[in-house]
């Protein structure tokens, strides 16, 4: 952990999509600056819902989210936009515009600072190339995204998130659609970004990657926290508690 300053606090968060079943059930979490937190749990356990509540892509039913001790749930308009600039998102399905070039897709990460694509500055272009270099894609800048492999597209997604100069990156199953070797390489890039001082919350299915990259793990089941601690503490008993008695670690 790079610092002991509290960056984010989630307090008694609840979310229901239908008014009956809780996708998040009284969930609380503290995130320190420099953390690399791994969210574990089955599909439908609440991992994506938590990340989307933190970024205000969806609204919680009740509870509080504090970012640098400011309650972010009442934010609207320009205040919400300024908050979201500090939160980079990396998505499972990449969320790129396939017919645009790699460089243009990365530049869209600056849209929180500009009103349109036409207002990008020379500095924006330089920053985009720097971030492409960080993910090893500086030679692909003018290539259309649709011609890239899945792993390369996810690296474009990471470079785009870095364009925001974020304090926090939320990675929602960033390696779920990738083969194991490519998944590990994507996690290495996120690990390097974390070493540079950016806090990361990343949802995963693979415990091996959680042990390798996370400094803390939060495991969810049916919207409730069933484990919080360091990755090494997840033994076979804990694993079955998170994933079910019939689950086998791969």
Q: Which residue has the tokens 């030679």?
A: 139
The predicted structure's pLDDT at residue 155: 96
- Mean pLDDT of the region 127-145: 96
- Tell me, letter by letter, the H, E, C secondary structure of the chain: CCCCCEEEEEEEEEEECCCCCEEEEEEEEEEECCCEEEEECCCCCCHHHHHHHHCCCCCCCEEEEEECCEECCCCCHHHHHHHHHCEEEECCCCCCCCCCEHHHHHHHHHHHHCCCHHHCCHHHHHHHHHHHHHCCCHHHCCCEHHHCCHHHHHHHHHHHHHCCCCCEEEEECCCCCCCHHHHHHHHHHHHHHHHCCCEEEEECCCHHHHHHHCCEEEEEECCEEEEEECHHHCCHHHHHHHHCCCCCCC
- Mean pLDDT of the region 5-15: 97
The predicted structure's pLDDT at residue 236: 77
CA distances from 151 to 78, 91, 116, 130, 169 (A): 34, 12, 28, 19, 18
The predicted structure's pLDDT at residue 161: 96
The predicted structure's pLDDT at residue 4: 67
The predicted structure's pLDDT at residue 130: 97
For the chain, the structural domain boundaries read 34-56+77-243
At 228, the pLDDT band (50, 70, 90 cuts) reads: very high
How many Å is the maximal CA-CA distance in the chain?
56
Percent of the chain whose predicted confidence (pLDDT) is above 90 = 79
- Mean pLDDT of the region 192-199: 96
Question: Is the confidence at residue 120, as pLDDT, over 90?
Answer: no
β-bridge mates for residue 6, sequence order: 32
- Mean pLDDT of the region 79-108: 94
Question: Is the confidence at residue 86, as pLDDT, over 90?
Answer: yes
At 146, the pLDDT band (50, 70, 90 cuts) reads: very high
Q: Which residue has the tokens 């998505």?
A: 91
pTM (predicted TM-score): 0.92
Structure token pair of residue 95: 């969320």
Q: What is the pLDDT of residues 94-118, one digit of tens each?
A: 889 999 999 999 999 998 887 666 6
Which CATH number applies to 34-56+77-243? Answer: 3.40.50.300
The predicted structure's pLDDT at residue 203: 96
């Amino acid at each position: 952990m790079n610092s002991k300053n509290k960056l984010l606090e989630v307090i008694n968060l609840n979310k229901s999509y239908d008014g009956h079943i809780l996708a998040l059930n009284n969930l609380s979490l503290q995130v320190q600056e420099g953390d690399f937190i791994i969210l574990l749990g089955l599909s439908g356990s609440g991992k994506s819902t938590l990340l989307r509540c933190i970024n205000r892509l969806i609204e919680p039913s009740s509870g509080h989210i504090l970012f640098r001790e400011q309650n972010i749930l009442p934010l609207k308009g320009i205040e919400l936009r300024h908050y979201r600039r500090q939160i980079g998102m990396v998505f499972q399905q990449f969320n790129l515009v396939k017919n645009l070039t790699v460089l243009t897709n990365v530049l869209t990460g600056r849209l929180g600072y500009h009103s349109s694509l036409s207002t990008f500055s020379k500095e924006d272009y330089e920053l985009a190339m720097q971030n492409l270099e960080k993910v090893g894609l500086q030679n692909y800048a003018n290539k259309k995204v649709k011609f890239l492999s899945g792993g390369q597209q996810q690296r474009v997604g990471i470079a785009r998130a870095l364009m925001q100069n974020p304090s926090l990156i939320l990675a929602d199953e960033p390696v779920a659609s990738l083969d194991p070797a490519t998944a590990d390489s994507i996690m290495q890039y996120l690990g390097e970004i974390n070493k540079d001082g950016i806090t990361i919350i990343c949802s995963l299915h693979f415990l091996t990657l959680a042990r390798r990259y996370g400094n803390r793990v939060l495991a969810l089941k049916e919207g409730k926290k069933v484990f919080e601690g360091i990755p090494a503490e997840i033994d076979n008993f804990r694993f079955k508690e998170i994933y079910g008695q019939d689950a086998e670690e791969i």
